[in-house]
Amino acid sequence: MGRAWGLVGGVVVAVVSAVPVGAEPAPPVVPGPVVGDVTEVHDPTMVRERGWWYVLSTNGGMGIRRSADLVHWSLVGQVFPDGTPDWVRDRLPDVPPDNAWAPDLSYRDGRWWLYWSVADFGTRRAVTGLMTNATLDPASPDYRWVDEGLVLATDDTSPTAAIDANAVTDEHGDQWLAWGSFWDGIFVRRVDPATGNFMTGAAAVNIARRKEWWQGVEGSFLVHRDGWWWLVASYGFCCHGVDSTYSVHVGRSRSLTGPYVDAAGRPLREGGGTTLLGSYGDVVGPGHGSVVPVEGQLVFVHHYYDRGNGGVPALSIRQLLWGPDGWPVAVDPGFVQVTPTASAVGGQWRLTNHPQECVSRDRIDATLTLRADGTVSPDGRWRIDGDVLRIESAGRSWWLYVSDDAGFGRDDSTAAVRGQRTDGTEADGVATTLCSPAPPTGPGPKPEGPPPPAIPIVEPPPTTG
């Protein structure tokens, strides 16, 4: 199951619906890279209202951008043109008043519910608040953000920072909020649907954290699809421009409260996480996004640091495809999947994985020639399996969804793999370099202070009642 759009009072909202698995390749729901006012966009959340797509993001009083086609975007307003509410400044006096973070939008009871955060960067001193509005259109007479006050506050004794909220409705209609950053990671807790605040007596459940607290996990987003809850989160460090180490990882569970495991069976509470997206080319440190249904398919809306533009944070929207293993892959904007044929896939391909794969896997850099007779140079074989290209070489195997010149899939270790057609001048072969985790050494502050005591495992709260 997944989310699709339904119409309620003229507003398009997310509802649960079937998402076909193993269907014929479909045209892309995102025609190509976004254009217009798409820079200085960080931590985007995207929704649709009355024919318009809206993106809210961190920075600049929390900008509101709008598009009719998911390609051309314009800045149309701010949530906080006069700065955050006074109660935020009272709690965090050293944080600039326009520095509101990580918006999360959901729609219910005729209003938009916006969770947002303010934090003292690199610490656990943070707050999450709630605003509501009847519409996202600043030109509407009904447009007015209403401050609903504080939802959560944390300090340096807290298990995690009160940022990166994500509101979610479970299969029973119950409301939840996920949040967290670094230290003991991501938590989820029941919410009172009448107030948007936490339900009295409901336990906070720890659903993801890294083995080392400084490795970082934040920017979580939960989505239900095909009978599974999928947890998408960002690992590493944001906010350092081209030195950022963000990458996006995913796990799944039959229950919203976990336990979540990755494609290799590793628990996300013990540092697991199957890579969905990492750095490549001018795309550096992609992360912190939302999973949004568009025309019956899911897209991943996120920011990245544009190496070709001085490391400025920029918006990206890319389609999610679901592989024969049942796990998602994130393709490049504009990727048009085709059914592979022998004539279409023959020639030389370069296969790589994302840098963050080095946390737990071998680094892959393979240049392989696919011959017309089904053999691979320097060794191995390839074949077409329905809409998937499968390759075996040097004791390893890969599957790819392909276009005319690119491919996206996974290898036998579940690593996310990018394929690119080459001009045939590169040497054939498979090279691997064993990597191991290490503390970050790039510029910018590390989260300060020692890690807090580990959170005890708690029983999940009831999902009904």
From the list 37, 137, 218, 332, the catalytic residue is 218
* 24 among known catalytic residues: no
CA dist 321 to 206, 228, 296, 395, 441, Å?
A: 28, 16, 12, 26, 34
Q: What are phi and psi of 160, to 5 degrees?
A: -160, 170
Helix (H) or strand (E) holding 439: none
Q: Which of 161, 68, 148 is nearest to 109 (CA)?
A: 148
Sequence-distant (≥ 6) Cβ neighbours of residue 333 within 8 angstroms: 30, 32, 33, 34, 316, 317, 318
Two structure tokens written together for 140: 């509407």
* 43 among known catalytic residues: yes
Bridge pairing between strands 297-306 and 312-322:
antiparallel
For residues 371 and 407, give the distance between their C-alpha atoms in angstroms, rounded to a whole number.
17
For residues 258 and 54, give the distance between their C-alpha atoms in angstroms, rounded to a whole number.
31
For residues 76 and 137, give the distance between their C-alpha atoms in angstroms, rounded to a whole number.
8
From the list 37, 43, 174, 357, the catalytic residue is 43
CA dist 155 to 31, 92, 101, 399, 407, Å?
A: 44, 11, 17, 46, 45
CA angle, 303 then 306 then 311, to 5°:
105
For residues 271 and 162, give the distance between their C-alpha atoms in angstroms, rounded to a whole number.
20
DSSP helix/strand/coil, 357: helix
Task: Please name the residue that has the structure tokens 């293993």.
Answer: 325
Residue 270: other Cβ atoms inside 10 A? 12
Give 379-387 contacts, CB < 8 A, sequence gap 24+.
Answer: 382/345, 384/340, 384/341, 384/342, 384/345, 385/324, 386/22, 386/324, 387/24, 387/25, 387/337, 387/339, 387/340
Active site (catalytic) residues: 43, 218
